[in-house]
A and B are shown apart, each in its own frame.
Chain A
Amino acid sequence: MHDFLLYLFSGLTRGSMYALIALGYTLVYGVLQLINFAHSEVFMAGAFASFIVVHAIVGEGGDLPGWVVPLVFILGLFSGGLTGAAVAWGLERIAYRPLRKRGAPKLAFLISAIGMSFLLSALAGKLFNRFTNNQFPDYFNKDAIVFSIFGAEVRLIQLIIVGSAIVMMLFLDRLVSGTKLGRSIRGVAEDAPTAALMGINIDKTISRTFVIGGALGGAAGFLFGTAFVFSNIMGFLPGVKAFAAAVLGGIGNIRGAMVGGLLLGVIEVLIPALPFIGTKWTDVVAFVVLVLVLVFRPTGILGEKLGRAA
């Protein structure tokens, strides 16, 4: 029980980051029916930018007055989110909009996004560094035990990550279901030509969808970097996993992405923890589960309509 809970907490932490990234995939898929392969670099950009901000404030870390820590953390989260949003906006302008205007075939978008992904990841390596073990400054005790259930400790960083992910997801859910922008996003996802006739500016809506997804991805980059390490190639694996999570939940479905992300995170930690499997099969487990789910539910756990999120 103790071990199970430990693994569960760790899985939820991982899963909430997957969910945040998966939302970016799912939002874009909802409005464009395209996989944004460069989303993983949005995530990476969020980590680097928030690192620079945090590093500029706290330097190499050390003891900070208690009230500064949440402030720095929130600042980091926002800078990551803002950068992610900016990169995603630029991505749409450069790698998507020109192709849309030319009526390019669907795969061309995929390839232009892949090109952008290569470009951004290598550029970040060139501008900052190519070490794979960059760490955020140590400005609070990440491993402090907040409380324990049945003797299974919940670490501070786990609580923060899951908490901020939940806050952001609730915010997104309200945004999509309750605001005018959310209605236009759902409208474009449902039926773009009709939405256009209803006075929705499709270009702007698509652009804003990228920005929202990018903000979540960038913030996830900050969380990931704080919890683990970050580098210019950090985006690839979480990106693939988050994409899988989005598909698992039903791509294009916002709540599906949340469910899929959390589920994938938990499965990925729990199943390899079984005595006869072992952690070297982590990725295989994730993909086998994905394949099985898709074989039996071809459109993911929750189905695929973005409109259904409301």
Chain B
Amino acid sequence: MKSNVFSSPVFKRLLACLALGFALAIMVGPQQGTQQDYGLAFRQAVFAPRIFLFLGIGLLVFVLVTYWSKITPYFHRSGVAPLAVGLVTVVAAQTLLKWHDPTGDGKFHTVSDAAVNIDGLAPLAQVYFSWLAWPLLFVTVLLAGSAIVLEKRPIAWGAAVLAIAGAFIAPVAQSAYAATTTRIDHSLGAGSAVSGYLVLLGAAVTIAMSKQESADTKAFFGRVLTWRPGLPLAVLGLIVGTLGLASATWFSPSKTNATLTDTATFFTGKGLAPIAEAYLSFLGFILFGLTLIAAAAATYLRNKIVGWVAFALGLVSLYLTLNTMYLFSSAGASLKIDQASGPWQNLGSGGWMASAAFFLFAGAGFVVATADWKKAKTIIVNGLKVAAPKSSDHGGLFGNATATKTLLLVVFAAALFYPPTATSFWQAVLVTQIGIYVLLAIGLNVVVGWAGLLDLGFIAFYAIGSYATAYLVGSLPIKPPWGVISPMLAIPFAIAICLVAGVLLGGPTLRLRGDYLAIVTLGFGEIVRIVAINADGVTNSTRGPSPQVPHPVIDLGFIRFEFGLNQLQYWYLLLIIIVIVVVLFRALEESRTGRAWAAVREDEIAAQASGVNTFRIKLLAFAIGASTSGLAGVFFASDVGFFTPDNFILNNSILVVAYVVFGGMGSLPGAMAGAAVLTWLPEFLKDQVPAEDRQMWIGAVVLLMMIFRPGGLIPAKRRAAELHGYDIDEPLEGSAVPAGEGMGAKS
């Protein structure tokens, strides 16, 4: 009998946890050695006293894992989940996010160091920045936590009061600080802290009020989202709109940060169009109030007619808001106020926040008007009508139609009205990274997620689309014989070319099985890239297209729209394209073709036996994926104008596969979310870790995701239902005796 302490599972676990601490110590350690001293960074990381801190973290993890069964009962108490979320949000806001862009690196500690030295700062802000921020958070969490453990309600009410205080002080202090400077500020830190404190408030109230032994967070969200359709939208609109109308900046030429009322006084008697003047001085508030009342009434009464009224009012107000913004920004420019530069320029976030609020109110009305709560809930599974499971069974995210609509509307509000308030850096990231890779991930999802074909050369089609565009607009050394065309007109041609390329590659190779196909597509990707480098006379090699691919101009005679002024135009165009593609692909997924893909993916032989032409259906997936990729290529080419074969390296192909799997194979929202998160992360990490270490952290995130959630961020429902695992899914040996028990397990 082996009964020694070194082979016991507890000891192994301890070793693993210490190794984890060690690895973390190295990962956050100092940067590289030199060619003279290779071990420098290693020694600095390991032989510094910090190592004990990290080994301590390892020990902590060990203790947590070992006593997990003792801790978990507390996890199910009411309020734990929001408490954790709120804590993480506030901590993240106070450590990672920017609180004021113009101040140094903009992070909380930098801003507070600066704030302490300002003499005339409001005393509240002074106190907050000098010492209050962290203790406030910790006392709040401590109170809420002890209320959970001790089950004492009054303590939780104390925590709630503190959370309200936090949610109030953070933005006040931040704006007091921001008011001392006149520079434009896009920071999100204070806002995130507020939302974190609001979540903490929710946690505290839950703890204080809950009568249940254990919490069911999913059911709670399900109930909130469906109790009154549209209510979350109306509440969100109220918050965003109030902030937008009351405190956010509407007009900010170089030296001013004017709120709505300031803007109104600014433009009084300057010959602004009467409608805009009315909006700025009183109409905006009235519209906001009216729409809010309509939306709230519709939500509460669940009345369809009131719902449509709120919808219409919201849209009209949205139009008026945007119109006003256009009018006063162009008036500001023509009056040459303080270097204002043109229509749609120098706008702060206020107008966009108000627009988002009106959009959300309209959305709330729409949700109410189209909600279907009378009908018995049935869904169709495999052609049979069955009773729909409760929303809580569905994992909450896309539980039922109303919740789905609500979430979609929030996402749309963010996608429409957040980008204009972002810095130009983030706008560029949104288009050239997030938007384009989301499109690519949607395309690859067809190939990998639905048809189950591993394509490691997906970027090749993207490259072909980009080069096709460059060729058609006459930016390559060889010119098209029929003359050049606009990049927008290149879209159908590029799609067609990529479709043909997909068929040409797929034709001979799709008979190959899984991993053989992977290496062939990988080879194809490399071949395309190397041809692009070597065929100098055709592609201009590594020098890229010259002259640059021009920005498209839409000229319909009576209206002329020029792209390329800023990234926002491309963003909205991309948004429209993505929506169209997603709608088409959703229909495709539900169609006969989509089911055929699923059949081929799960069992090709069975699919063939059931009459599916497997080769043709696979080829179709390949071609559709390729043409989506080509579409992304057109965008890329005309947005950046200049690209080289280095944009199409193998690593990018692998990354797109990683985005799709990270998000959830075969799930459209998953693939999009995966691409969005993983393209956003490196840019976000730019401010957090040294540039060279970004790859490392991304690798770690992907690895952790796959270990703890192998289905991805938003797993596909169909896949989850159909695919229960991998061939060797159970520990085959010794499964009669649970791990860690039986003979020889105890020392």
Which of chain B's residues has its CB closest to A196's CB?
A: B732
A102 x B710 contact (CB < 8 A) = yes
Q: A119-B696, A202-B728, A203-B731 are in contact. Are A112 and B702 (CB under 8 A)?
A: yes
Q: What is the predominant secondary structure among interface residues of chain B facing chain A?
A: helix
| CB-contacts of B683-729 with A (<8 A) | 692-696, 698-703, 705-707, 710-712, 719, 723-729
**B733 touches which of A104, A122, A196, A236 (Cβ 8 Å):** A196
Q: Chain A's nearest CB lies how many Å from the CB of B184? A: 35
Q: Chain B's nearest CB lies how many Å from the CB of A198? A: 10
Q: Chain B's nearest CB lies how many Å from the CB of A246? A: 9
Q: Chain B's nearest CB lies how many Å from the CB of A41? A: 10
Instruction: Judge if A253 is at the interface, Cβ distance under 8 Å.
Output: no
Q: Chain B's nearest CB lies how many Å from the CB of A154? A: 31
Q: Chain B's nearest CB lies how many Å from the CB of A95? A: 6
Q: Chain A's nearest CB lies how many Å from the CB of B455? A: 11
Instruction: Judge if B104 is at the interface, Cβ distance under 8 Å.
Output: no
Q: Chain A's nearest CB lies how many Å from the CB of B685? A: 12
Instruction: Judge if A149 is at the interface, Cβ distance under 8 Å.
Output: no
Contacts of B38 in A (CB 8 A): 48, 51-52, 55, 128-129
Q: How far is the CA of A98 from the CA of B708 in the complex (A)?
A: 8
Contacts of B657 in A (CB 8 A): 107, 110-111, 114
- Mask of B11-28 contacts with A, CB within 8 angstroms, 1/0: 000000000000000110
| CB-contacts of A65-116 with B (<8 A) | 94-95, 98-112, 114-116
A118 x B692 contact (CB < 8 A) = no
| CB-contacts of A105-152 with B (<8 A) | 105-112, 114-123, 125-131, 134
A192 x B661 contact (CB < 8 A) = no
Which of chain A's residues has its CB closest to B533's CB?
A: A280
Contacts of A117 in B (CB 8 A): 699
Contacts of B513 in A (CB 8 A): 298-299
Which of chain B's residues has its CB closest to A31's CB?
A: B728
A290 x B696 contact (CB < 8 A) = no
Q: Chain B's nearest CB lies how many Å from the CB of A132? A: 11
A112 x B515 contact (CB < 8 A) = no
Q: How far is the CA of A251 from the CA of B695 in the complex (A)?
A: 29
B32 x A35 contact (CB < 8 A) = no
B523 x A287 contact (CB < 8 A) = yes
**A130 touches which of B509, B692, B726 (Cβ 8 Å):** B692
Instruction: Judge if B243 is at the interface, Cβ distance under 8 Å.
Output: no
Contacts of A106 in B (CB 8 A): 514, 726
A115 x B701 contact (CB < 8 A) = yes
**B731 touches which of A55, A101, A300 (Cβ 8 Å):** A101
B703 x A284 contact (CB < 8 A) = no
Q: Chain A's nearest CB lies how many Å from the CB of B238? A: 41
Instruction: Judge if B526 is at the interface, Cβ distance under 8 Å.
Output: yes
Contacts of B458 in A (CB 8 A): none
Q: How far is the CA of A127 from the CA of B29 in the complex (A)?
A: 9
A291 x B523 contact (CB < 8 A) = yes
**B26 touches which of A123, A129, A240, A299 (Cβ 8 Å):** A123
Q: A35-B518, A284-B530, A298-B511 are in contact. Are A126 and B706 (CB under 8 A)?
A: no
Q: How far is the CA of A203 from the CA of B157 in the complex (A)?
A: 52
How many residues belonging to A are interface residues under a CB distance threshold of 8 Å? Answer: 70
Instruction: Judge if B650 is at the interface, Cβ distance under 8 Å.
Output: yes
Instruction: Judge if A159 is at the interface, Cβ distance under 8 Å.
Output: no
Instruction: Judge if A171 is at the interface, Cβ distance under 8 Å.
Output: no
| CB-contacts of B553-577 with A (<8 A) | none
B519 x A105 contact (CB < 8 A) = no
Q: How far is the CA of A236 from the CA of B651 in the complex (A)?
A: 9
B515 x A118 contact (CB < 8 A) = no
A290 x B707 contact (CB < 8 A) = no
Q: A193-B728, A298-B512 are in contact. Are A111 and B658 (CB under 8 A)?
A: yes
Instruction: Judge if B654 is at the interface, Cβ distance under 8 Å.
Output: yes
Contacts of A123 in B (CB 8 A): 26-27, 696
**A126 touches which of B32, B519, B726 (Cβ 8 Å):** B32
Q: Chain A's nearest CB lies how many Å from the CB of B520? A: 5
A115 x B531 contact (CB < 8 A) = no
Instruction: Judge if A273 is at the interface, Cβ distance under 8 Å.
Output: no
Instruction: Judge if B534 is at the interface, Cβ distance under 8 Å.
Output: yes
B725 x A103 contact (CB < 8 A) = yes
Q: Chain A's nearest CB lies how many Å from the CB of B16? A: 8
Instruction: Judge if B448 is at the interface, Cβ distance under 8 Å.
Output: yes
A294 x B512 contact (CB < 8 A) = yes
Instruction: Judge if B407 is at the interface, Cβ distance under 8 Å.
Output: no
- Mask of B502-522 contacts with A, CB within 8 angstroms, 1/0: 000000110111111011101
B509 x A291 contact (CB < 8 A) = yes
Q: How far is the CA of A236 from the CA of B698 in the complex (A)?
A: 17
Contacts of A107 in B (CB 8 A): 448, 454, 657, 661, 665
Instruction: Judge if A247 is at the interface, Cβ distance under 8 Å.
Output: yes
Instruction: Judge if A1 is at the interface, Cβ distance under 8 Å.
Output: no
Q: How far is the CA of A123 from the CA of B35 in the complex (A)?
A: 16
Q: How far is the CA of A120 from the CA of B710 in the complex (A)?
A: 20
- Mask of B473-513 contacts with A, CB within 8 angstroms, 1/0: 00000000000000000000000000000000000110111
Contacts of B511 in A (CB 8 A): 298
| CB-contacts of A13-69 with B (<8 A) | 29, 33, 35, 37, 48, 51-52, 55
Instruction: Judge if A281 is at the interface, Cβ distance under 8 Å.
Output: yes
Contacts of A200 in B (CB 8 A): 733
Q: How far is the CA of A129 from the CA of B37 in the complex (A)?
A: 9
Instruction: Judge if B256 is at the interface, Cβ distance under 8 Å.
Output: no
Contacts of A51 in B (CB 8 A): 38
Q: A298-B512, A298-B513 are in contact. Are A111 and B524 (CB under 8 A)?
A: no
**A288 touches which of B527, B692, B703 (Cβ 8 Å):** B527
**A295 touches which of B34, B39, B41, B509 (Cβ 8 Å):** B509
Contacts of B509 in A (CB 8 A): 291, 294-295
**B32 touches which of A100, A105, A125 (Cβ 8 Å):** A125
Which of chain A's residues has its CB closest to B28's CB?
A: A126
Q: How far is the CA of A126 from the CA of B40 in the complex (A)?
A: 10
Contacts of A203 in B (CB 8 A): 731, 733
Contacts of A121 in B (CB 8 A): 695
Instruction: Judge if A244 is at the interface, Cβ distance under 8 Å.
Output: yes
Instruction: Judge if A201 is at the interface, Cβ distance under 8 Å.
Output: yes
Q: How far is the CA of A299 from the CA of B515 in the complex (A)?
A: 10
Q: Chain B's nearest CB lies how many Å from the CB of A231? A: 11
Q: How far is the CA of A287 from the CA of B528 in the complex (A)?
A: 11
Q: Chain A's nearest CB lies how many Å from the CB of B733? A: 5
Instruction: Judge if A283 is at the interface, Cβ distance under 8 Å.
Output: yes
| A/B interface sample: 17 pairs, CB < 8 A | A107-B661, A108-B661, A110-B454, A112-B703, A114-B654, A115-B703, A122-B692, A122-B695, A126-B692, A127-B45, A202-B731, A247-B516, A247-B519, A251-B516, A283-B530, A287-B524, A291-B520
Known: A127-B33, A127-B45. 5 other contacts (CB 8 A): A37-B654, A131-B35, A202-B731, A291-B523, A298-B512
The 3 tightest CB contacts between A and B, nearest first, are A103-B725, A118-B699, A104-B710
**Residues in A lying within 8 Å of B, measured CB to CB:** 29, 33, 35, 37, 48, 51-52, 55, 94-95, 98-112, 114-123, 125-131, 134, 192-193, 196, 200-203, 236, 240, 243-244, 247, 251, 280-281, 283-284, 286-288, 290-291, 294-295, 298-300
**Residues in B lying within 8 Å of A, measured CB to CB:** 26-27, 29, 31-35, 38-39, 41-42, 45, 448, 454, 508-509, 511-516, 518-520, 522-524, 526-527, 530-531, 533-534, 650-651, 654, 657-658, 661-662, 665, 692-696, 698-703, 705-707, 710-712, 719, 723-733
